Amino acid sequence: MNPLARLTYRNIFTSVDKVTYSWQLIWPACWIYLVGFSLSSLVGSQTIEIGDLTVPYYTFIAIGMPTFNAMNTSEVSGSIIWKDKRNGMFQQIFTMRYSITHYVISNLLTIVILGLGSAALIGLIGSPAMVGHIQPNLFTIPYFLFALICTSIFFGCISIILSCLTKSGEQFNLILGGTHYFFTFAAATFYPLNAVPEPLRTVFLFNPMTYFMELTRAGISGALGSNVNNELLIAAVSTASITVIAIAVMRKIKI
């Protein structure tokens, strides 16, 4: 079996517990049906524009949940490294025919697979909040898939970097949680970009999560905006850059 396939299989079936899998579905469902519908009562009849579509707030929240969940799932890549550190697996893995690059890419493949799988289930869970408000098609869905994969890899790399630089599991979880909060709330995750006042809007535009979310909503809703090509480029460059950094940091780790 290919080295990448072996490590990815190991990560999915032995390094990730069932509680983690379950939480990846419960958490987005809470955001859609508790937060989404609760805040919709404050918004009232006001709708939100996505391209040339207008949708209620709970739909706006629901179609962003797969990508939001992909960010949360990315914690797994750093957790795998911490478990391997604690259990002495680094020495065993790297004395065989596996390289640092194999190890990093397999971690990223793991969270991409988890992200795609959970996205399908979240789509089913959130479908009551989306049906009748969106018009996805075969041309727009690839934009969503691209955004989901970029999100998994981008935040997976951040998780890998932090797992290499922090000195304890508690420190890793604390810093990663704070990082996720920043990327979540300083982006167009729970509110539309065009409704954010300056100078916050400028901050949002420097946050890659904004572009992941914009692509996600454009792809799922079926309404591509005029800036979609720029969003694709920024998402791709951000993801490629952080991947190079993660591999470089990982190469310096003491085994």
The Cα–Cα gap between 199 and 176 comes to 25
Range(s) of the domain holding residue 224: 3-251
- β-partners of residue 50 are 53
Q: What is the pLDDT of residue 254?
A: 65
pLDDT one-digit tens code per residue, 28-50: 888 888 888 887 777 767 788 88
3-state secondary structure 45-73: CCCEEECCEEECHHHHHHCCHHHHHHHHH
Total structural domains in the chain?
A: 1
Mean pLDDT of the chain: 85
Phi, psi of 50 (to 5 degrees): -130, 105
* Token digits of residue 133: 């408000």
Helix, coil or strand: residue 29: helix
pLDDT above 70 for 80:
yes
pLDDT one-digit tens code per residue, 169-215: 788 888 988 999 899 888 888 888 888 888 888 988 999 999 999 99
Q: What is the pLDDT of residue 255?
A: 60
